[in-house]
Amino acid sequence: MKELTVDATIENIAAVTAFVDELLEQLACPAKTRVQVNIAVDELFSNIAYYAYHPKTGTAAVRVEVTEDPLAVVITFIDNGVKYDPLAKADPNTALSAKEREMGGLGIYMVKKSMDDISYEYRDGQNILRIKKEI
Q: What is the mean pLDDT of residues 117-128?
A: 97
Cβ(24)–Cβ(37) under 8 Å? yes
Closest CA to 2 of 68, 55, 75, 54: 75
Q: What is the pLDDT of residues 7-40, one digit of tens each?
A: 999 999 999 999 999 999 999 999 999 999 999 9
Q: Report the pLDDT value the prediction gives residue 109, as an integer from 0 to 100.
A: 83
Domains of the chain plus CATH, in order, are 2-134 (3.30.565.10)
CB 128 within 8 A of CB 76: yes
- Report d(CA 97, CA 84) in Å as an integer: 27
Q: Which of 84, 100, 24 is nearest to 48 (CA)?
A: 84
What pLDDT, in 10s, does the model give residues 82-119?
A: 999 998 876 555 555 556 545 555 678 889 999 999 99
Q: What is the pLDDT of residue 100?
A: 56
Please give the biggest Cα pair distance in the chain: 43
Mean pLDDT rounded to a whole number for the chain: 90
Amino acid 48: pLDDT? 96
62-90, pLDDT tens digit by residue? 999 999 989 999 999 999 999 999 988 76
What is the pLDDT at residue 32? 96
Closest Cα partner for 12 from 51, 59, 64?
A: 59
**How confident is the model at residue 133, as a pLDDT?**
97
